[in-house]
Structure 1
Amino acid sequence: MTTRRTLLLATAAAATAPAWGQAHFPNKPIRLVVPFPAGGATDIFGRAVSQKLGEKLGGTVVVDNKPGAGGTIGSDLAAKAAPDGYTLLLATTSTHAIGPSFAANKLPYDAVADFTPIAHVGNAPNLMIVPKDAPANSVKEWIAYARKNPGRLNYASSGNGTIVHLSGEYFKAQTGLFLVHIPYRGTALAMPDLISGKIDLLFDNVASALPHLKEGRVKALGISSLKRSPLFPDMPTISETVPGYDVVTWFGLYGPKGVPADLVARINKALNEALLEADVKDRLARLGIEPVGGTPQQFAAMADADRAKWKKIITERKLTSD
């Protein structure tokens, strides 16, 4: 027979279970969802910080690639996960700044309401990459080449509505060029076609493009940030030829909506500590990535501002997911 004392003990145990779970977090591997393919910039970045983040939390962080639909599939999976801190998302400009305006009516998640911001992890510029045999060795020469071949040249992206896609559209808007867009499921999948010459242009992240540049399989003509990269001090910025061109990809850590504040604080603290580690900073620097860190509030404010920027560009270019 169930006694009043038994019921009270059971109620007390149920009430303290979440608190106990949080106090012992993590007691199983944490899944870091990367919504792009292995080998791409987001994947490389995720693997660069996941091990150290796990160490700082006293557990293990496992990268789980869930590519497709410009990052939408993995982002939606993370949004619908339990808000217990065991599923995190490495989001990007593509998934949480561009997507909300580019495919607002088709996204299965709300980029703001369905997520808990945790930390701004880092920033990375893109490189303007062309085949090694392209008849141009500078941004200016490539623009001249494209103007002589209107509609005959193309550019690849990591999917409709991604930062790579919008980098190309922004470039077209600034130069008045007519280029055909060829979407892929990630830049890692587009690279073989760029190397073979089937693709004429790709705005790829430094991290994923670097191995191919070192091997001489492709060549870079410019960098998308307003400032030159310490990794390529002699490489001009695109803005030196196309005034005002400025594109930087940000990476940020989110949890599903409703992650308890104490877990958010613990993960944020661990991430910030991981980004200060000399080996992490060195590895990211060699990939052309600038670690950022900061509070969840600072991250949320940055993402809000970037959404406004890309919404303006998408509206002016009349870009849609159709």
Structure 2
Amino acid sequence: MTRSVFVTIARFAVAVAFLPALAFAQYPNKPIKLVVPYSPGGATDVIGRVLAQALSTQLGQQVVVENRAGAGGNIGAESVAKAAPDGYTLLMGAMTSHSIMATLEKGSIRYDLQKDLVPVSMAGSVPLVWVVNPDLPVKNMKELVAYAKANPGKLTYASSGAGAPQRMCAELLRRMGGSQLDMVHVPYKGSGPAMTDLVSGQVNTMCETVPASIGFIKAGRLRALAVTTPQRISMLPDVPTTAEEGMAGYEVASNFGVAAPAGTPKPVIDKLNAEIQKALAKPEVQQQLLDQGAYATPTTPEQAQARIKAEIDKWAKVIKDADIKAD
């Protein structure tokens, strides 16, 4: 082999080696699809649209929200899990709900949350609050537990579905209350009808998202007992935390994040993560989320992965202990 041929081959090899890096450096060079696995208007959709708008400006490419609702979010999540791992199809997921479904519907869902998707970043968190109909004679969480113990089988609690974070929040209370509180679950198809019956007194209590309940709380139509967050929240500053009510470790929130198909190159994940971090650091973006009842919660991909695993493990135990079945 002549020297000139050897040099030519060497240069070609170097060029080929740099092609992937060049492609990643140019990412994105076309629009990105952000799949929201629920109908328009919910928390996942709102957070997704706020983030998509900010990312479109930062990346110089349109981030298009596509709503693919059905099967409790599983249809849209599955479509992303099976998409090409090139960074152009992403999931705006309700990670708490997906983590619950990973156990609750393990036999029917056709993707694995931890194997078929890779976290990019958490994005937002919606806090939950325990509320009661004002006619119920309880003023705090200790009184709620005491009432449930004194009236076995009489205290009714609503939820927006068998596998919803609201249901899991109540199941945690049943166990933390000691001797598995005898409370009657009344499932609804969504927070709207659940709130309607709670306000009218058809059911007694509920652990609900702050955005869905805050209007009723401020109007005096529901009484807030405690928020299930580590610290008090700015939306309800006068409402104590469950920890303040003597329930250390009782924390529940509905968490949302962005994920990509497994196999998406790390440089693409890192680029997306950096841009999401940048977007969620902007005061105007934080305010847009807060206006919808969500707090910005950016993380590294590794932190997001750890959080999702922790949620899966946590809810798997609750589902098993309570023998919860899918609707």
Q: Which runs of 5 or more residues in structure 1 are unaligned?
A: 1-15
2:171 corresponds in structure 1 to 169
C-alpha offsets along residues 94-117 of structure 1, whole Å, 9 cap, x if unaligned? Answer: 344322233322322101111121
Measure the CA separation in 2 of the matches of 1:128 and 1:229.
Answer: 13
CA RMSD of aligned residues (A): 3.2
Instruction: Read off the aligned partner of 1:192 and give its amino acid letter.
Output: T
- CA distance in 2 between partners of 1:26 and 1:214 (Å): 47
Distance 1:79 1:187, change over 3 A: farther
Q: Could you tell me which amino acid in structure 2 is paired with residue 73 of structure 1?
A: I
Displacement of 1:150 after TM fit? 3.0
How many angstroms apart in 2 are the aligned matches of 1:189 and 1:88? 31
User: Match for residue 58 of structure 1?
Assistant: 60
Q: What is the deviation of 1:188?
A: 4.1
- Matched residues in 2 for 1:60 and 1:208: separation? 31
Pairing of 1:279-298 with structure 2 (within 5 A): 279-285=284-290, 289-298=294-303
What whole-Å deviation, never above 9, does each CA across 1:53-105 have from its counterpart, x for those lacking one? Answer: 22222233344444444432332233233334333222234344322233322
Of the structure 1 ranges 278-287 and 245-254, higher mean CA displacement relative to structure 2 is found in 278-287
The residue type equivalent to 2:126 in the other structure is: A
The yes-or-no answer on 1:182 pairing with 2:198 is: no
Letter in 1 for 2:164: T
Q: 1:128 aligns with which of 115, 130, 142?
A: 130
Cα 1:40–1:22 change in 2 (3 A) is same
Distance across 2 between alignment mates of 1:203 and 1:64:
30
Following the alignment from structure 2 to structure 1, what is the Cα–Cα distance between the partners of residues 97 and 21?
31
User: How do 1:64-103 and structure 2 match up within 5 A?
Assistant: 64-103=66-105
In the alignment, is the contact (CA less than 8 A) between 1:102 and 1:321 conserved in 2? yes
- Once the two structures are TM-superposed, the CA of residue 286 in structure 1 deviates from its matched residue by 5.0
Matched residue SS, 2:223: strand
Q: Counterpart of 2:256?
A: 251
Relative distance call for 1:117 and 1:303 in structure 2 (3 A) is same
The separation in 1 between residues aligned to 2:125 and 2:322, in whole angstroms, is 25
Match of 1:109 in 2: 111
Report Cα offsets for 1:280-320 as digits up to 9, x if no partner. 22333455544232321221122223322333333333334
Report the Cα offset of residue 273 of structure 1. 0.5
Supply the distance in 2 between the matched residues of 1:34 and 1:217 (Cα, whole angstroms).
Answer: 32
Q: 1:316 aligns with which of 314, 321, 326?
A: 321
Using the size of structure 2 for normalisation, the TM-score is 0.79
**Shift in CA distance, 289/307, structure 1 to aligned 2, threshold 3 Å:** same
What residue identity is the alignment partner of 2:281? L
Deviations 1:145-176 (A, max 9, x none): 44454333432333322322211111111123
Equivalent in the alignment of 2:208: 204
**Which residue of 2 is the match for residue 25 of structure 1?**
28
Counterpart of 2:115 in structure 1: which amino acid? A
Q: Which amino acid aligns with 1:300?
A: Q
Contact 2:226/2:245 (CA < 8 Å) preserved in 1? no
Q: Are the counterparts in 2 of residues 158 and 165 from structure 1 also a CA contact under 8 Å? A: yes
Q: Does 1:234 align with 2:238?
A: yes
Deviation at 1:221, TM superposition (A): 1.8
Contact 1:33 1:88 survives alignment (8 Å): yes
Higher-Rg member (1/2): 2
User: Could you tell me whether the CA contact under 8 Å between 2:73 and 2:98 is conserved in 1?
Assistant: no
SS in 2 for 1:239: coil
Which of 304, 307, 321 matches 1:302?
307
2:197 aligned residue (189, 193, 211): 193
Return the offset for 1:132: 4.9
Aligned residues: 307
What residue in structure 2 maps to residue 264 of structure 1?
Answer: 269
Which residue identity is paired with 2:194?
A: A
> What is the letter of the counterpart of residue 198 of structure 2?
L
TM-score by length of 1: 0.80
Q: Residues 110 and 304 (structure 1 numbering): CA distance in 2 closer, same or farther, change over 3 Å? A: same
Structure 1 CA distance for aligned equivalents of residues 47 and 76 of structure 2: 16
Instruction: Indicate if the aligned counterparts of 1:222 and 1:237 stay in contact, CA closer than 8 A.
Output: yes
